[in-house]
Chains A and B, each alone.
Chain A
Amino acid sequence: MKPKFGVVIFPGSNCDYDAYYVLKKIYGYEVNFLWHKETDLKNVDVVILPGGFSYGDYLRSGSIARFSPIMNSVIDFANKGGHVLGICNGFQILLEAGLLPGVLLKNNSLQFVSKDVYLTVENNDTVFTKENKNNEVLKVPIAHGEGNYFTDEDTLKSLIDNNQIVFKYCSPVGKVEEGFNPNGSLKNIAGIINKDGNVLGMMPHPERASDPVLGKTDGKLIFDSIGKYIFN
């Protein structure tokens, strides 16, 4: 059985069609767009909160999107165990919604960073990463101005204790070092998952590294894993 995907469109989303394209054209999954003013999730199995600049990133990234009607349904869905993947601005929205802990501050360089980065998969035992069996380093692009993950010490400890850090920025050979941290993120964190393992937020864009035409396909790991393990 193939999972059904829903891609939420907020005013200012701009990676919604990238996600749709990969899921529909590369994988052949059924994909529905979910409009921010709606509340019906159309019986999807996975909700994607795409990248972009929802509501112009006004106030704080993700802070206004978090209160749009569709998000009440997404929060409900996630709390009942539904799978949610937040990419970039989607990650920021998940944090603002309280579905994941912490905040994303402005990059320490104050610059918008758009480039390929390398990621270690720190936790292979999630629905989103199980296909990374050989602990390979992933090459996936980032494009953000506010990706500097921060949280207090207690929360960081609980993230580590519960194995909730899923991706870290690293060197091309997988060394997690400050020099390969593109934004000042605490412990080089690039993506985290909730305790129940059904909500993943990440700054890098796997949907921009999933079509061979673009010359990189490491992002497929995530969509391969979801397709294979969501019902198992």
Chain B
Amino acid sequence: MYKAKVLIKRRPSILDPQGKAVEKGAQHLGLNNIKDTRIGKFIEFTVDTTDKNSAEKEVKEYCAKLLANPIMEDFEFTLEEMK
């Protein structure tokens, strides 16, 4: 069994109005050094197999086909064996 942790980021070329709006909040808090806030997604789940290769393959497909939209997002993930 593996624990997968997926990080999905908006591509640098895509504007992030949400990040900008949140950053306004930082200014209101007086945190003037906060810059370039961008909002992505963090997703975690388990993969019920003992074979790391097949776990990796499945996670990749999950990310590429459903969790991320390659037109606007990039993804990266880690796999950790669960004891």
What 0/1 readout, one digit per residue, does chain B (56-67) give for beta carbons within 8 Å of chain A?
A: 000000000011
A104 to chain B, nearest CB (A): 10
**Interface contact B72-A106, CB-CB below 8 Å:** no
- A: which residues have CB within 8 A of B? 59-60, 63-64, 67, 96, 102-103, 105-110, 150-152, 184
Q: Do the beta carbons of A105 and B67 come within 8 Å of each other?
A: no
Beta-carbon contact of A103 and B72 below 8 Å: yes
Please tell me if B49 contacts chain A, counting CB pairs below 8 Å.
Answer: no
Q: Which of B15, B67, B69, B71 contacts A108 (CB 8 A)?
A: B15
- Contacts A/B (CB < 8 Å), 23 sampled: A59-B66, A59-B67, A60-B69, A63-B66, A63-B69, A67-B66, A102-B71, A103-B69, A103-B71, A103-B72, A105-B14, A105-B72, A106-B17, A108-B15, A109-B17, A110-B17, A110-B18, A110-B21, A150-B71, A150-B72, A151-B71, A152-B71, A184-B17
Where chain A touches its partner, the secondary structure class is: loop
> How far, in Å, is A181 (CB) from chain B's closest CB?
14
CB contacts (< 8 Å) of A152 on chain B: these are 71
Contact at B14–A96, with CB atoms within 8 Å? no
Number of residues of chain B lying within 8 A (CB) of chain A: 10
Binary per-residue interface labels of chain B (6-28) against chain A in the complex, 1 for a CB within 8 Å, 0 otherwise: 00000000110110010000000
Nearest-CB residue, chain A, relative to B67: A59
Rounded to whole angstroms, the CA-CA distance of A152 and B72 in the bound complex is 10
User: Which chain A residue has the least Cβ–Cβ distance from B13?
Assistant: A152
Q: In the complex, how many angstroms separate the beta carbon of B41 from the nearest chain A beta carbon? A: 8
